[in-house]
């Protein structure tokens, strides 16, 4: 049986696949500078031209970023995240918010059934951060703490695929909301701290969980509508 020699395009594809795996696995984190060319050539056992083609492919799709004077760094850890962010930028923010909140409704239900003591501790930490930001009337800090709380609920689902999808949607949506908030007057977010949701998850009361989520679903949509229309 004749064995075909690997073509250059095949080698480039192998380099791309291996580098994607290193990024997605967290071996190369967002913001990290990738190793120097000689090291990567030895690592993948390819020529300089093949390596550069592979790197350029990842730069083109947005996983890597070539920065003059700095080098090549990791820009994103997922093709899915890039696709979703581009889609969200071109979509109606209210529609995207509804999708995100739909995820949160399901996350809260799963968290109610599957949460651990460690999950509850992390939720409490996030809620404390929300309270601190509310007292200083810092909308950006509150937004980060609030997102962290909802992510802690998603983590409590113990479903990795669900969490990945939720994180990508949330991060991309928050980037868009931040741009709006930069031109808005600070507001008091004290009433938006989800203590009732936390208590419902802690008590494993699925009905109260659903009521709590539905309550802030409507509030969140109304708040964003006001921000956009002002």
Average pLDDT score over residue span 121-147: 88
Q: What are phi and psi of 183, to 5 degrees?
A: -110, 10
Token look-up 């708040």 returns: 223
Model confidence at 66, pLDDT cuts 50, 70, 90, reads confident
**Which residues, other chains included, contact 138 with Cβ-Cβ below 8 Å and sequence gap of 6+?**
186
Q: What is the pLDDT of residues 204-222, one digit of tens each?
A: 999 999 999 888 877 777 7
Cβ atoms 159, 113 nearer than 8 A: no
Q: What is the pLDDT confidence band of residue 61, given thresholds at 50, 70 and 90? A: confident
Q: Tell me how far apart the alpha carbons of residues 12 and 183 are, in angstroms, rounded to a whole number.
A: 45
142-152: pLDDT as tens digits: 888 888 898 89
Q: What share of the chain in percent tops pLDDT 90? A: 33
Taking residues 164-178, what's their average pLDDT? 67
Q: Is 166 exposed, middle or buried (0-12, 13-18, 19+ CB in 10 A)?
A: buried
CA 62 to each of CA 66, 91, 216, 229: distance values in angstroms, whole numbers, following the listed order: 10, 20, 34, 32
Instruction: Give 123 or 87, the one with higher predicted confidence.
Output: 123
For residue 65, pLDDT beyond 90: no
Whether pTM exceeds 0.85: no
Residue 23's nearest CA partner among 64, 67, 57, 70 is: 64
Residues 79, 52, 65: CA angle, nearest 5 degrees: 45
Per DSSP, the three-state class of 28 is: coil
Please report the beta strands in the chain, taking only residues with DSSP state E, as ranges in sequence order.
Answer: 64-67, 71-74
CA distances from 157 to 88, 195, 199, 210 (A): 24, 18, 16, 15
Is the pLDDT assigned to residue 188 strictly greater than 90? no
Per the listing, tokens 């550069």 go with: 52
Residue 185: what pLDDT? Answer: 44
Alpha helices in 68-194 (DSSP H): 79-89, 93-114, 117-135, 139-155, 160-181
Mean pLDDT in the chain?
81
Domains of the chain: 8-77 (1.10.10.10), 80-229 (1.20.120.530)
The pLDDT of residue 1 is 40
To 5 degrees, how large is the angle CA 46–CA 48–CA 52? 100
């Amino acid at each position: 049986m004749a064995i075909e020699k690997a073509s250059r395009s095949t080698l480039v594809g192998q380099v791309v696949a291996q580098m994607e795996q290193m990024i997605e696995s967290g071996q190369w984190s967002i913001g990290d500078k990738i190793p120097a060319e000689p090291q990567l050539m030895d690592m993948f056992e390819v020529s300089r031209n093949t390596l550069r083609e592979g790197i350029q492919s990842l730069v083109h799709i947005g996983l890597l970023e070539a920065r003059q004077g700095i080098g090549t760094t990791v820009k994103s850890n997922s093709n899915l995240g890039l696709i979703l962010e581009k889609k969200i930028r071109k979509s109606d923010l209210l529609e995207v918010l509804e999708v995100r909140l739909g995820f949160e409704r399901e996350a809260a239900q799963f968290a109610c059934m599957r949460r651990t003591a460690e999950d509850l501790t992390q939720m409490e930490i996030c809620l404390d951060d929300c309270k601190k930001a509310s007292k200083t009337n810092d909308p950006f800090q509150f937004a980060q703490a609030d997102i962290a709380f909802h992510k802690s609920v998603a983590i409590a689902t113990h479903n990795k695929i669900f969490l990945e999808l939720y994180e990508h949607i949330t991060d991309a949506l928050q980037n868009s909301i931040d741009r709006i908030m930069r031109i808005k007057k600070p507001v008091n977010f004290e009433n938006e701290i989800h203590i009732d949701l936390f208590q419902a998850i802690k008590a494993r009361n699925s009905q109260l969980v659903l009521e709590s989520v539905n309550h802030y679903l409507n509030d969140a949509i109304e708040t964003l509508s006001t921000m956009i229309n002002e």
